[in-house]
Amino acid sequence: MPELPEVETFVRALRPAVVGRTIIAMHNTWPRHIDRPLPGELAERIAGRRIDAVNRRGKFLLFNLTPSGALVIHLRMSGHLSVVERSEPRDKHTHTVFILDNDTELRFRDTRKFGRVYLVDDPQEILYKLGPEPLSPDFTPESLAAMLADRKRAIKPFLLDQTMIAGIGNIYADEALHYAQIHPQRRTDSLTPAEIKRLHAGIQYVLDLGIKREGASISTYVKPDGEMGDMQNEVAVFRRAGQPCPRCGATIERIVVGGRSTHFCPLCQPNKKGDIPKENVSP
DNA sequence: AAGAGACCCTGGATGC
DNA sequence: TGCATCCAGGGTCTCT
């Protein structure tokens, strides 16, 4: 499932293929893919606009358009974007297509159909609720500490809350908590300064590694070119229940927290404040 | 504030 | 072999 590193991988791959291209038409076979405006109106309005930049905010892709506006895409569970020759046959799950001015097209394939497309004047219409970018300088241990102290909930759903921190999904939440040796059900206001520092480092470490490895091909995700990412080989706990923890060898468990399957090591992520076996402290 | 549950979807896994 | 059923998973919404 595309999270921040997977979306970043799409952005980097698409950028050279679409920047400077003009969209000449849009085709859609699944109207619910288009959040706003109505599909017919989007097709009419987007034709003739040029893509000037491709960026990411949280898990959203942003295509800046000239003379105005932005195309915003969220891939949700199974979305995939690629730019291919128009002559290439379309996959049956390709529901939205932007035809470009050089005989290529930007294809939005989405098996689960949860993805969404928006054409807006100002992306803030969609993005205003998002929390900070976890890899930006304004995300610091201090800013994280302030957010955590302010509420009383389990840390795992906190990490998945896009209004707190933008871009973390189920894989990277579990991995960051394992890195930081924090139990997923720990209350946000119970974390010690040392734990918060480790969590901050863990979030940045796993997301950065995810980007370097071009995403985790664990369920359906593949890179824009159809190849698998490499992050699935670096994963310590996610979907590894029953297997040994790479840090301490204990058996990884799966529980449900906030309605999401959650994977953790019961030995190096104990559910007690500060209770970390000293032989298992990470290097 | 925050948790629980429903909803949207399909393919893969499991059950019979 | 084949059919029915369950489940994951991000985000949004409603209810408590």
| pLDDT tens, position by position, A99-145 | 999 999 999 999 888 899 999 999 998 888 899 999 999 899 999 99
- Mean pLDDT in chain A? 88
What's the CA A31/C1' B11 distance, rounded, in angstroms?
22
Nearest nucleotide relative to A76: CA against C1': C10
Task: List chain B nucleotides near protein: any atom < 7 Å from a Cβ.
Answer: 1-6, 8-11
Range with the poorest average pLDDT among A14-18, A99-103, A236-240: A236-240
Known catalytic residue at A197: no
| A3 is a catalytic site residue | yes
Share of chain A above pLDDT 90, in %: 62
Is the distance from CB of A229 to CB of A212 less than 8 angstroms? no
Q: Which of A21, A56, A57, A59 is catalytic?
A: A59
Residue A272: its pLDDT value, please? 63
Q: In the structure, what pLDDT confidence band is assigned to residue A239 with cuts at 50, 70 and 90?
A: confident
What protein residues sit with their CB closer than 7 Å to strand C? A 1, 3, 58-59, 74, 76-78, 112, 114, 129, 160, 162, 169-171, 219, 239, 256, 260-261
Per-domain boundaries in chain A = 4-127, 141-280
Task: Tell me the backbone φ, ψ of residue A137, rounded to 5 degrees.
Answer: -65, -20
Q: Give the Cα separation of A102 and A191 in Å (integer).
A: 54
Amino acid at A178: H
Integer Cα distance of A24 and A221 in angstroms: 28
Task: Give the whole-angstrom CA distance, residue A206 versus residue A224.
Answer: 21
Q: H-helix or E-strand containing A255?
A: strand A253-257
Nearest residue to nucleotide C7, by CA–C1' distance, is: A261
What integer pLDDT is reported at residue A260 of this predicted model?
87
Residue A242 tokens read as 């029953």
Euclidean distance between CA atoms A161 and A169, whole angstroms? 9
A64 versus A236: the higher-pLDDT residue is A64
CATH level 3 topology of A4-127 = N-terminal domain of MutM-like DNA repair proteins (3.20.190)
Q: pLDDT (tens digit, 9 = 90+) per residue, A138-186?
A: 899 999 999 998 888 899 999 999 999 999 988 899 999 999 999 999 9
CB contact at 8 A, A27 and A96: yes
SS3 A35: strand
Mean pLDDT of A34-44: 91
* A141-280 maps to CATH 3.30.1200.10: no
A213 is catalytic: no
Q: How far is CA A208 from CA A22, A46, A156, in A?
A: 32, 34, 19
Q: How far is the CA of A164 from the C1' of B1 (A)?
A: 14
Categorize the per-residue pLDDT at A97 as very low, low, confident or very high, splitting at 50, 70 and 90: very high
A281 pLDDT band, cuts 50/70/90, is very low
Kindly tell me if the per-residue pLDDT of A66 is higher than 90: yes
CB < 7 A contacts with chain B (nucleic strand):
A 32, 77, 93, 111-114, 151-154, 157, 188, 258-259
Query: Per-residue confidence at A278, pLDDT binned at 50, 70, 90?
Result: very low
pLDDT recorded at residue A233: 79
Q: How confident is the model at residue A43 (pLDDT cuts 50, 70, 90)?
A: very high
Say whether pLDDT at A59 is over 70: yes
The whole-number Å distance from A58's CA to B16's C1' is 44
Q: Check residue A258 and give its pLDDT.
A: 86
* Per-residue pLDDT tens digits for A70-89: 999 999 888 999 999 999 99
CB A144 within 8 A of CB A199: yes
Exposure class string for A30-64: b at 16+ Cβ within 10 A, else e: eeebbbeeebeebbeebeebbbeebebbbbbbbbb
